[in-house]
Amino acid sequence: MKNSTFDKDRTLNAVLYITERIQRSDFHKIFKILYFSDREHLMEYGRPITGDSYIAMRYGPVPSKLYDIFKAVRGDSYFRDNGEFLPYFSIIDNDIVKPNRKADLSELSNSDIKHLDNAIKLYGEMSMSEICNKSHDYAWQNTVPDREIDLSDIILEAGGDDTYIQFIKENCCVGEIEEYA
């Protein structure tokens, strides 16, 4: 099952929201907090927060489009930022996200904030190795390295079952659907 449509504004403001609440706002920590937030939000509300596709990379799930944005701001992406993202944040020391403004909370729903806060509380103070181990879950393990993690596997990891996966496919906005095996 493919992910829903990427919501750039919601994602950028979720990043700002996270950076305002954690001590070290590096790529890795932000990616994992977003993954856990998206996973739990999907399970409770039938949609992820960001709509980004997660790739099973060496240190855990990485939101594909957001990673491209971070690399563009850093200056080493296949596309240039051209200043679109600079009003939101800068990248320092190769992987630290420095917010350039506060999160626009009107871009985040109450349920988005609830799940972001929960993930920050649970994972925000973990070391890189601790959060990496937590993110090497069923969904990550069931994916070929450097490939997209299937939403069905994320739902299963979060405690869902085949019935819930079918419900999401039929009733929720998760984009194009592949056959679940």
Residue 79: per-residue pLDDT:
84
* Residue numbers of the domain that contains 53: 8-171
* Within a domain: 66: yes
Distance separating alpha carbons of residues 141 and 155, to the nearest angstrom: 14
DSSP annotation of 106: G
* Within a domain: 55: yes
Q: How many domains does the chain have?
A: 1
Residue 11: per-residue pLDDT:
98
DSSP annotation of 77: S
Q: Tell me the pTM.
A: 0.92
* Token code pair at residue 57: 């990379």
* Within a domain: 179: no
* Within a domain: 181: no
pLDDT in tens, the chain (181 residues): 665 689 999 999 999 999 999 999 999 999 999 999 999 999 999 999 999 999 999 999 999 999 999 999 999 988 888 889 999 999 999 999 999 999 999 999 999 999 999 999 999 999 999 999 999 999 999 999 999 999 999 999 999 999 999 988 887 755 433 333 2
Nearest CA among 173, 13, 40 for reference residue 109:
13
* Within a domain: 166: yes
* Within a domain: 16: yes
Distance separating alpha carbons of residues 46 and 40, to the nearest angstrom: 9
Nearest CA among 64, 55, 50, 153 for reference residue 107:
50
CB 49, CB 34: distance < 8 Å: yes
